[in-house]
Amino acid sequence: MSAPGPLLRVRDLCVTFPARRGRPPVRAVDHVSFDIEPGQTLGLVGESGSGKTTTGRAILQLQPASGGSVRLLGQELTAMRRADLRAMRRHMQFVLQNPYSSLHPRMTVAQILAEPLTVHRSVPRERIPERVAELMTLVGMDPKVVHRYPHEFSGGQRQRVVIARALAVNPDFVVCDEPVSALDVRTQAQIVDLLHSLQEKLRLSYLFIAHDLAIVRAVAHRVAVMYGGRLVELGDAARVYDSPAHPYTRNLLDAVPIPDPARQRAKLAEAAPEPQFRGRDGETGPCVFGEDHAASGTPAWHEVAPGHGVSCRFWPPGACPGQELPRI
């Protein structure tokens, strides 16, 4: 099942939550666009409330989009009939943050892994035990322990089971939403290694959602930075990390603690006021790049290098492209 173009193509994706208790509707995802190529990882970073999880859910059609397009393997998902969508679900899977709550406590690992195989009828019934054992081996676990319950495993092992369940139906694309943030550092490193090797072996594509920028650096080919429901920067990981263009990206990178006492002390001592990122209203007239998008009808997006784009929204007053901001 190959299709021309990227594996996943997201264009102008919008999600609006309806008005509640007298509060206006909230646009949680606002014209988000990106591609993910086969076998590649896009890291999606941002703070809580920035819309990253909602973006992941909207791509998987677990959350209705209010506008825009999501094409997986060349097929448009947003307008798809339910039965067709169910068939497409075998190509796209989800790994969630908390390995404690995402596994049914009363089901053995064997039952947990057999469930998607039965639902999607991906292997004949009599081959299920064999496939379950295969999946356990794939995620580096001993197939002999499949009759145990989730509570008998450590957090890292449970996350391996969650990954095995996602891989049961041979997906092409996996949304990993904070897959390691509930784990210890050494376990994080092991799960990241596992995700790497699975990607190479199975040519998986990942959307890797995380608030930990250091982890994202280790896993992502490309990185998208989200703020207030919008992408504010998108580019190759090395470019975004080494020459961030948006002040918000710089702010995020500056806040990451460095495991070096002298430098981290100096960082904590420099307490400049936090930059205020401008809201989305009142964006008329020329933007920070000197373009009037309202007049020209162009999107508020600027290429600073091939494949490296930045939004002209949410720039603090006085900030200009290419200029250093005071550190937070």
Partner 1 sequence: MDDPRALLQVRDLTAQFNRDGVPSRVVNGISFDIAPGEAVGFVGESGCGKSVTARAIMRLAPEGSSVAWGGRILFRGRDLLRIEEREMRDMRGRRIAMVFQDPMTSLNPVMTVGAQIDDMLCRHAGLSRRAARRRTVELLGLVGIRDPALRADDHPHQFSGGMRQRVLIAIAVSCQPDLLIADEPTTALDVTVQAQILRLLMRLGRELGMALMLITHDFGVIAGMVERVYVMHGGDIVESGEVDALFAGPQHPYTRALLAAVPRIETAGRTT
Rule CB under 8 A: say whether 253 interacts with partner 1.
yes
Rule CB under 8 A: say whether 144 interacts with partner 1.
no
When binding is defined by CB under 8 A, the residue of 220, 226, 312, 319 that contacts partner 1 is 220
Comparing C-alpha atoms, which of 94, 95, 112 is closest to residue 103? 112
Could you tell me which stretch among 133-141, 265-273, 300-308, 315-323 binds partner 1 (CB under 8 A)?
A: 265-273
Residue 147 and residue 109 in contact, taking contact as beta carbons nearer than 8 Å: yes
When binding is defined by CB under 8 A, the residue of 93, 97, 251, 311 that contacts partner 1 is 251
Rule CB under 8 A: say whether 238 interacts with partner 1.
yes
What's the distance, Cα to Cα, between the start and end of the chain in Å?
48
Comparing C-alpha atoms, which of 275, 259, 278, 279 is closest to residue 267? 259
Rule CB under 8 A: say whether 211 interacts with partner 1.
yes
What does the alpha-carbon distance between residue 251 and residue 313 come to, in Å, rounded to a whole number? Answer: 15
Q: Give least dist CB 196 to partner 1, A.
A: 8
Rule CB under 8 A: say whether 185 interacts with partner 1.
yes
Rule CB under 8 A: say whether 189 interacts with partner 1.
yes
**What's the gap between Cα 107 and its chain centre?**
28
In the sheet with 230-236, reading across from the earlier edge strand, the strands are 92-95, 173-177, 205-210, 41-45, 222-227, 230-236, 308-311, 301-305
Rule CB under 8 A: say whether 258 interacts with partner 1.
yes
What does the alpha-carbon distance between residue 328 and residue 326 come to, in Å, rounded to a whole number? Answer: 6
Q: Give least dist CB 274 to partner 1, A.
A: 7
Could you tell me which stretch among 56-64, 178-186, 302-310, 311-319 binds partner 1 (CB under 8 A)?
A: 178-186
Rule CB under 8 A: say whether 151 interacts with partner 1.
no
Rule CB under 8 A: say whether 188 interacts with partner 1.
yes
Rule CB under 8 A: say whether 261 interacts with partner 1.
yes
> Would you say 146 or 223 has its CB closer to partner 1?
223
Rule CB under 8 A: say whether 272 interacts with partner 1.
no
What does the alpha-carbon distance between residue 323 and residue 200 come to, in Å, rounded to a whole number? Answer: 39
Q: Give least dist CB 47 to partner 1, A.
A: 4
Q: Is 70 helix (H, G, I), strand (E, B) or coil?
A: strand
The total number of residues shown for the chain amounts to 328
What does the alpha-carbon distance between residue 258 and residue 145 come to, in Å, rounded to a whole number? Answer: 39
Rule CB under 8 A: say whether 264 interacts with partner 1.
yes
- Which residues in this chain contact partner 1 in the complex, by CB under 8 A? 41, 47-49, 155, 184-189, 211-215, 217-221, 237-238, 241, 251-268, 271, 274, 328
